[in-house]
Amino acid sequence: MPNRRLRTFLSELIYQPTWTSFLPPIQRGDEVEQMRLILGALAAMSGPPPDPLTTIIAYLGLSSYFFHKNDFHRGQEFWTLASDTVLKHDLDLALTVPIVENETTTYSLHPLTDASELRSAFSNLIFLALDVELVLAVPPIIKPRLLDQFDLLMDTQVVNNADLNFARAKSIRMLSQSRRVTAAWDAGKAQRQSPGAPWFESYWKLIERLNAHIGSLNHTHLRISFLDAHTAELTVKLCLIVAIAALADLHGIFAPSHAESSRRYRDTVVEIVSISSTFTVDDCRYLDPILSLSWAIATKRILENQVVYDNQQSIIAAIRACNLNLQQMLPYVPDFECISHPVPPLQYQNVFYSAGHNR
């Protein structure tokens, strides 16, 4: 079976399109039989062995499936197999070669070449790793080399397809970066230290990148809204909420003492409420627990009474309703008002107060 046909076959078995990576329903079909077919295909029991990209897509699909079933250990096991495959074949290094895309090609939700499909699969690997780390507050499961390679891809312009995996990974990567910037500020404040130039450089650069990313996502959302692709539209909304939460995280640092930061912080939270309020209960099965954490990060200054707005009670009530809907459909979704915000490893906290700084 040619690799592209095998890739499609595996994707259909795990109910996960290779270009979107939506979490599959918790109960669907005969799991034992599906696992037998998938693992048999990966082991080349019924034909030639799949290529590395097909293998990665299959392992990531299985990882998503088991994470969604609240089986953390099996989810991590299959994620690790995907990660090891990337490293074994140096596929992350292959991504440093620019992908040539034809701007005249019809706009698509699908990767248009093997190279863009590799970028999509690699982005899914990054998203799952950071999702697990942030949502479950566990030590990082991803090797720094893979994050470094993804950071090199962050400014890639995708001209003719949505590449929703890439968009999701960029959003969650910038959320993890905003958490580090905020943690560094809080650590310095606790020690009565003033931030140095590296901290402000990172702060302003991340705000600039977030604004550009959010603008791109808004454009993608508009284009997809003209297509019959509801689940894809949901994914773009998820990307927007995560990215806007990162922006709220940064504006929130100065919101208690700076009028313009306070206004922008309030506006970002209101925008998150506006997007989140469009989700139905059924929509939530296609979303992700990262939303609950994003809501918690975005509303942190309000919940801690560091800022006060006229409409803040309605803001919290609206997000509370969304959070309850999400809890009905997905695992790992706590009450957003009770989340203890994940703090990055110690080595990241004071780094912006020294001569150098870490991403």
The predicted pLDDT at position 192 comes to 85
127 vs 43, more confident: 127
* pLDDT tier, 124 (very low <50, low <70, confident <90, very high otherwise): very high
The predicted pLDDT at position 168 comes to 95
* pLDDT tier, 27 (very low <50, low <70, confident <90, very high otherwise): very low
Assigned token pair, 50: 């799949």
Single pTM value for the model: 0.89
- 359 pLDDT more than 50: no
Q: How far apart are CA 33 and CA 39, in angstroms?
A: 10
The predicted pLDDT at position 21 comes to 37
The predicted pLDDT at position 67 comes to 87
* pLDDT tier, 9 (very low <50, low <70, confident <90, very high otherwise): low
User: Are the C-beta atoms of 326 and 284 separated by less than 8 Å?
Assistant: yes
Render pLDDT for 163-215 as a digit per residue (tens, 0 to 9). 899 999 999 999 999 999 999 999 888 888 888 899 999 999 999 999 999 99
The predicted pLDDT at position 78 comes to 94
Q: How far apart are CA 130 and CA 270, in angstroms?
A: 25
Task: Calculate mean pLDDT across residues 294-322.
Answer: 96
The predicted pLDDT at position 344 comes to 52
Q: What is the mean pLDDT of the chain?
A: 85
User: Are the C-beta atoms of 217 and 211 separated by less than 8 Å?
Assistant: no
Render pLDDT for 56-82 as a digit per residue (tens, 0 to 9). 988 998 898 888 888 899 999 999 999
The predicted pLDDT at position 58 comes to 86
- 23 pLDDT more than 60: no
* pLDDT tier, 100 (very low <50, low <70, confident <90, very high otherwise): low
What are the b/e assignments for 34-53, b being 16+ CB within 10 Å? Answer: beebbeebbeeeeeeebbbb
161 three-class SS? strand
* pLDDT tier, 33 (very low <50, low <70, confident <90, very high otherwise): confident
List, in order, residues 6 or more apart from 105 with CB less than 8 Å away. Answer: 112, 160, 161
Least confident range of 18-32, 185-199, 300-314: 18-32
The predicted pLDDT at position 101 comes to 62
* pLDDT tier, 35 (very low <50, low <70, confident <90, very high otherwise): confident
The predicted pLDDT at position 355 comes to 35
Instruction: Tell me the three-class secondary structure of 113-154, residue by residue.
Output: CHHHHHHHHHHHHHHHHHHHHHHHCCCCCCCHHHHHHHHHHC
Task: Calculate mean pLDDT across residues 345-359.
Answer: 42
Assigned token pair, 288: 């992700």
Least confident range of 90-104, 124-138, 204-218: 90-104
17 vs 353, more confident: 353
The predicted pLDDT at position 108 comes to 83
